[in-house]
């Protein structure tokens, strides 16, 4: 999940549609407009590393360019943690890791 200014939510979805082209079935987003959260969905017939490489890290870099933020409702998990530095300062990431250890 990413957080964006409301104006940029459709920009990110449109950018991913252009980037993925006809390689996937569809690209769409849904989320929480009140807090500007976007769940970006890329629907494909079959998973492939090629399509994943086309989407990542682009999605996270583009989020940072649009002044958005990488977020997660249920924790960052192992997939997003490598891209946190694109949207969060190193001190913020260190703080998050410290908080995680105290739980």
- In the chain, the number of structural domains is 1
Contact (CB, 8 A) for 63 and 12: yes
Q: What is the pLDDT of residues 48-101, one digit of tens each?
A: 999 999 998 898 888 888 888 776 655 555 566 666 666 667 786 677 667 666
Q: How far apart are CA 46 and CA 61, in angstroms?
A: 25
The residues, any chain, with a CB within 8 Å of residue 30's CB and separated by 6 or more, are: 38, 39, 41
Range of the domain at 32: 2-101
φ/ψ region of 96 (left if φ > 0, alpha if ψ in -120 to 50, else beta) reads: alpha
| pLDDT of 8 above 80 | no
pLDDT value, residue 19: 95
CATH number of the domain at 12, please.
3.30.70
Distant-in-sequence, close-in-space partners of 31: CB < 8 Å, separation ≥ 6: 1, 9, 37, 38, 39
Average pLDDT estimate for 10-32 = 91
């Amino acid at each position: 999940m990413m957080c964006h200014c409301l104006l940029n939510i459709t920009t990110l979805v449109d950018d991913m549609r252009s980037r993925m082209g006809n390689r996937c079935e569809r690209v769409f987003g849904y989320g929480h407009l009140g807090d500007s959260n976007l769940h970006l969905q890329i629907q494909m017939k079959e998973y492939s590393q090629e399509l994943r490489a086309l989407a990542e890290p682009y999605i996270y870099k583009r989020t940072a360019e649009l002044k958005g933020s990488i977020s997660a409702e249920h924790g960052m998990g192992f997939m997003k943690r490598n891209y946190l530095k694109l949207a969060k300062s190193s001190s913020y990431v260190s703080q998050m890791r410290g908080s995680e250890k105290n739980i």
